[in-house]
Amino acid sequence: MRKYQLIAFCMAGLLACLQFGCSSDSREESFELPETISYNFDIRPILSDKCFKCHGPDGNTIEAGLRLDIPDSAYAPLKETKGSFAIVPGKPDESELLRRISSQDPDYQMPTPESHLGSLTPYQVELFRKWIQQGAKYEKHWAFVLPQKSPLPLFKTKEGLNNEIDYFIRARLKEKGLEPNPPADKERLLKRLAFDLTGLPPSEELMNSFLVDEDPDAYTNMVDKLLDLPQYGEKMALHWLDLARYADSYGYQDDNIRTQWAWRDWLIHSFNSNMPYDQFVTWQLAGDMLPDATKEQVLATAFFRNHKYTEEGGVIPEEYRVEYVIDKTKTYGKAILGLTIECAQCHDHKYDPISQKDYFSIYAFFNNTKELGFEGDILVSKPAKKPILTISDDDVRNMMKFINKKDTGQLMVSVMGERDTLRKTYLLNRGAYDQPGEEVSPIGLQSVMKYDTLSLPKNRIGLANWTVSKQNPLTARVFVNQLWQEFFGRGLVKTSGDFGMQGELPSHPELLDWLAVDFMENGWNIKRLVKQLVMSATYQQSAKISKKSLDLDPENVFLSHAPRNRLKAEWVRDMVLASSGLLVPDIGGPSVKPYQPDGLWETATSGRGELATYKQDKGDALYRRGMYTFIKLTVPPPSLMLFDASNRDQCEVKRLQTNTPLQALAMLNDPMILEASRVFAQRLLESDTNAQTNIQNAFRRIVCRKATKKELAILLKYYDEQLALFRSKKLAAKETLAVGEYKHNPDLDSNLQAALMKTIHLIYNMEESIVKT
């Protein structure tokens, strides 16, 4: 009978995998259980997926009075099954939980078939059996436990171990039966490094100097050189702009212009000046409330004012004011704490220990600002909404030289500002603005870390201090994970915006904690952390994929090779402009409007305001970096959206990465890429008419390595074919060259230029051109 039960278990497990998906590893396939079962890493993820819907922290959905997320309830006598206990530590056969999850009786089985949550696999059932046998010990959620530095794994030799990162990565590779790759060649490594530290391809001068540099410290010196470039701040700012939902318009129907770009200039400056992360967060949370706050500190708080803002008539001001506070609360939780606290806006969180009251206690910190839900006259759109920071030319000359102010008018920015009298905060029933319930006070999430009201004020200053305390288990972990994601394409915690119960477990928990503690111990130094990442052998390894690593680790979770990621949307544009010589390298300033298909804005407008029609810029403004492209919330830039840029509608901690035919169409037809190809060809021909030399130079500047003989032969053949077609008038050279506004050189042979332009355009359309490594 036991044999047939096991067969039934296996069949049920197989059906569950087919129907609901499985995350089994090699241990599950071999039925090999861990020696010690961990609640956090083995049991809690199953409970979260299968049980917490009815037996979790949400008091409104608890069935049978049983909560399985806390031991006091799980060990208590069951209310509906007399004499039984869900879990009896040390006695699996007496535990009703084990009986239920292993049963095949649909009237007795848990989860119930009606829940559509799927049965547990035999492996999962045995995990529970062994866990209960070992005492059914509960643990605080891993992300809410203060990180500690684990001892470094031991190795017989230090070869290939550049720093502490490599010890932890190598240990996991060894555990999985994998080996790391050898280092990447210098050309590919420099391209990767340059894009990761500046968002731009390496210049020809950098490539030449790095390739011939035999100094053992050549790579280290290159890292330091790139970290010192002002473009480093631009690169680092791009991710934070996604978190901050930065845009150049208000959204909603009218979607008029606003002037928050001075905050973007501050953001770039803060990264270039290597502002410590704890200060960086504090200024953005509560810079206006610091003693004798400077205009720069107040400007930093514009981070929380980048949300959408309605200018439509007939709105209810309080409804939208509440909406803005909700946006701030969500942004704070997701960007800085890495938690989905917004799930508790209308009810207790279904999975995390965050009640609705906890949510509104965080909300209360942002509920006392001077911001209004609606300012009145819909006929007059203002570039900033109250409270406002006004920045004059004198301010820029004397204290904020980092602002790239291009006119003599006063610059206005929406910032945070605290009311003189306290606005009471109420728990809003079902999250509705007009259904206040019990009064709540500002207080941090107690499940994360105690909020000491004796030492911390109940305002944004207190929240900032609580957030950046070294006793807060989340803040450093979340930021370290986001940076890891920026450099490796995937965070050590894959769900970088969710460190809660439903988030992914860290792939390398000891490494994440080691880096978080080290980050805090070293003054929250961001540049130091960046350098640690890129100096590791893990970062510098080749991206070649072996069959073994593809079979054992198809998603490269354990980093047996360097990840292969496409450039961010803005960097695709930057790469084209920089390699062609068109890029205008000004740092900061107002956003610009480059080429865009006609009629897009006009199809999504109320007809009011200066953004009703798209007015393309001229001259240098056409050739600015992608991060300065004007973002209208109702119609984001199409060339950026095609390559998965954030639409900036809300806080976004990780961009999608898709591959669609539209991306290929954009690379083939975008007037910016066609113009860059024309100008690149023009500049090459002005110096040399030798086709082979020009193609070699173009290839190297675009792909960032020398072309192989085979690649060069293919490109030369294509060039010759195109030249023949232009000379025979089967293709029209002048029509081909008639793209873009950059000045033409009438002295050049149009056939030669058009043929070279098309060859360069072909190089831009190589897949390798738009991948980082």
For 61, which DSSP code?
Answer: S
d(CA 475, CA 281): 10
For residue 592, the cross-strand partners are 629
d(CA 490, CA 318): 40
Range list of β-strands (E), 410-520: 411-414, 425-428, 436-440
Q: Which two tokens stand for residue 111?
A: 């989860």
The secondary structure element, H or E, covering residue 391 is strand 388-391
Identify the burial level of 164 via C-beta atoms within 10 angstroms of its C-beta, where 0-12 means exposed, 13-18 middle and 19 or more buried: middle
Give the phi and the psi of residue 436 in degrees, each rounded to 5.
-70, 140
d(CA 683, CA 22): 56
d(CA 236, CA 198): 8
- Looking at this protein, which amino acid is placed at residue 64? A
Give just the sign of the alpha carbon dihedral 31, 36, 41, 43.
Answer: positive
What is residue 31's predicted lDDT score, i.e. its pLDDT?
A: 58
In the block, tokens 């809410």 appear at 144
d(CA 61, CA 356): 14
d(CA 509, CA 492): 8
3-class state of residue 446 by DSSP: coil
For residue 418, the cross-strand partners are 369
Q: Which two tokens stand for residue 460?
A: 């944004």
3-class state of residue 618 by DSSP: coil
My answer on whether omega of the bond before 92 falls inside 30° of 0, hence cis, is no
d(CA 679, CA 741): 10
Residues 202 and 573: beta-carbon distance below 8 Å: no
pLDDT digits (tens, 9 = 90+) for 61-106: 888 889 998 899 999 999 888 889 999 999 999 999 999 999 999 8
d(CA 423, CA 368): 5
Give the phi and the psi of residue 611 in degrees, each rounded to 5.
-100, 15
99 closest CA partner among 89, 87, 90? 87
641 closest CA partner among 651, 629, 653? 629
- Looking at this protein, which amino acid is placed at residue 326? I
pLDDT digits (tens, 9 = 90+) for 351-398: 899 999 999 999 999 999 999 999 988 888 999 999 999 999 999 999
C-alpha pair distances (Å), 191 with each of 210, 401, 734 = 11, 31, 35
pLDDT digits (tens, 9 = 90+) for 18-47: 333 344 444 444 458 889 999 988 998 899
d(CA 175, CA 158): 18
Query: Torsion angle, CA of 426/427/429/435, rounded to 10 degrees?
Result: 10
The per-residue DSSP string of 593-612 comes to: -----TTTGGGS--S-STTS
Give just the sign of the alpha carbon dihedral 180, 186, 188, 193.
Answer: positive
How far is C-alpha 666 from the geometric centre of its chain's CA atoms? 24
Residues 704 and 201: beta-carbon distance below 8 Å: yes
d(CA 190, CA 202): 7
3-class state of residue 566 by DSSP: strand
Residues 6+ apart with CB under 8 A from 489: 563, 565, 657
Cα radius of gyration rounded to whole Å, the chain: 29
C-alpha pair distances (Å), 257 with each of 88, 248, 673, 711 = 63, 6, 28, 47
Residues 6+ apart with CB under 8 A from 682: 744, 745, 748, 753
* pTM: predicted TM-score of the whole model, two decimal places: 0.92
Give just the sign of the alpha carbon dihedral 581, 200, 757, 665.
Answer: negative
Give the phi and the psi of residue 70 in degrees, each rounded to 5.
-130, 140
Identify the burial level of 663 via C-beta atoms within 10 angstroms of its C-beta, where 0-12 means exposed, 13-18 middle and 19 or more buried: middle
d(CA 590, CA 581): 22
d(CA 114, CA 112): 5
3-class state of residue 427 by DSSP: strand
3-class state of residue 59 by DSSP: coil
For residue 77, the cross-strand partners are 85
SS3 breakdown of the chain: % helix, strand, coil, rounded to 5?
Answer: 50, 5, 45
Q: For the packed helices 460-467 and 356-366, what is the interaxial angle rounded to 10 degrees?
A: 120
Residues 404 and 587: beta-carbon distance below 8 Å: yes
The per-residue DSSP string of 165-205 comes to: HHHHHHHHHHHTT--PPPBPPHHHHHHHHHHHHHSSPPPHH
In the block, tokens 């894009």 appear at 195
Residues 614 and 255: beta-carbon distance below 8 Å: no
d(CA 445, CA 68): 21
Give pLDDT < 50 ranges for the chain.
1-30
Q: Which two tokens stand for residue 257?
A: 């212009």
C-alpha pair distances (Å), 298 with each of 31, 192, 303, 530 = 58, 36, 10, 27
d(CA 338, CA 503): 10
3-class state of residue 747 by DSSP: coil
